[in-house]
């Protein structure tokens, strides 16, 4: 009962922090921040969850296997997005050259593949931060 306020507040705030992190990840090309900063925000929201509700509960939500998978396939996602260019016959990581429609400047779609690539990187950064946290706490 003693952490009542903390837990209630966290329950209200943490989802928004997490969503904000994804917002920063996806809007890296039109606003300050980007996949690394956004990934850190997502990771920190998860770390805050585990510190407030206890490591065991955090671990139950994010078992090691899940973290390993997001970490590995987040990066592989980056590689696959890079391969779009190669499949289309233009260099690795090509964006406009690969025929991706770049919409109006200043909007989310104006980055083409960048926000998709950033999504993979952000997920990887978030899960790395969480893995580091758990490793340090469980040592």
Partner 1 sequence: MKELFGKLIMNYPYFAAAILFMIGALTVLTRSDLLKKLIGINIMESAIFLIFVAGGNIRGGVAPLLSKANSGAVYVNPLPSALMLTGIVVSVSVTAFALALIVRLHRAYGTIDLQRIAELRSEVAMDDSNHHT
Partner 2 sequence: MTATIIPDLPVFVVIAPLFVAFVLPTFARRMRLVEALVILVGILGFLGALYLASLVFAQKGSPLIYSLGGWQAPWGIELKAGNLGALFLLVVTGVSLPVSLFAKGNLAQEVGGKERSARFYVLYLLLGGALAGMAVTNDLFNVFVLVEVVTLSCCGLVSARNHPRAAEAAFKYLIMATLGSTLVMGGIGFIYMITGHLNMEFAARELASIWQHSPHVVWMALSFILVGFGVKAAVFPLHVWLPDAHSTAPSPASAILSGLAVKGYLICLLKFLYNVFGSALMQEFAVDRILVLAGAVAIIAGSILALSQDELKRRLAYSTVAQVGYIVLGLGLLNRQGLAGTLFYLASHAVIKSTLFLAAGAIIAATGKKKVSELSGIGRKMPLTMAAFTIGSLGLIGLPLFSGFVGKWYLLLGSIETGKPLPTVVVIAGSILCATYLLPVIRRAYFEPAPDTTNADWQDPQDPGFSQKLALILLAAIVVLLGVVPGPLLELAKRAAAELLLLQ
Of 10 and 122, CB closest to partner 1: 122
Residue 72 binds which entry of partner 1, partner 2, none, CB below 5-8 Å type-dependent: partner 2
- Kindly state the smallest distance separating residue 128's Cβ from partner 1, in Å: 8
How far is the C-alpha of 85 from the C-alpha of 102, rounded, in Å? 15
Cβ proximity to partner 1: between 10 and 129 the closer is 129
Residue 110 gets which letter from DSSP? G
Residues 73, 108, 110, 116: which binds partner 2 (CB under 8 A)?
Answer: 73
Q: What is the 8-class DSSP label of residue 81?
A: H
Q: What is the nearest approach in angstroms of partner 2 to the Cβ of residue 107?
A: 21
Length of the chain: 139
Number of residues that bind partner 2 (CB under 8 A): 21
Strand, coil or helix: 28: coil
Q: Which residues are within 8 A (CB) of 8 and not within 5 positions of it... i.e. 6 or more apart?
A: none
C-alpha 8/C-alpha 47 separation (Å) is 16
Q: For residues 1 and 136, which CB has a smaller minimum distance to partner 1 in the complex?
A: 136
Q: Take residue 6 and report the two structure tokens written for it.
A: 């903390």
> Binding partner 2 by CB under 8 A: which of 95, 108, 110, 116?
95
- Is 135 near partner 2 (CB under 8 A)? no
Q: Which of 11, 54, 72, 137 binds partner 2 (CB under 8 A)?
A: 72
Query: Assign residue 31 a region: left if phi > 0, alpha if psi is -120 to 50, beta otherwise?
Result: beta
List residues binding partner 2 (CB under 8 A).
68-69, 71-73, 75-76, 79, 82, 85-87, 89-97
């Amino acid at each position: 009962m003693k952490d009542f306020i903390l837990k209630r507040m966290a329950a209200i705030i943490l989802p928004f922090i997490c969503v904000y992190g994804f917002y920063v990840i996806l809007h890296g090309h039109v606003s300050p921040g980007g996949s690394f900063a956004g990934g850190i925000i997502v990771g920190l929201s998860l770390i805050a969850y585990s510190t407030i509700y206890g490591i065991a509960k955090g671990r139950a939500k994010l078992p090691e296997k899940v973290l390993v998978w997001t970490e590995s396939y987040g990066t592989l996602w980056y590689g696959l997005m890079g391969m779009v260019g190669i499949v289309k016959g233009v260099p690795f990581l090509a964006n406009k050259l690969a025929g991706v429609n770049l919409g109006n400047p200043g909007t989310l779609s104006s980055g083409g593949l960048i926000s998709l690539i950033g999504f993979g990187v952000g997920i990887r950064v978030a899960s790395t931060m969480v893995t580091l946290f758990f490793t340090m706490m469980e040592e």
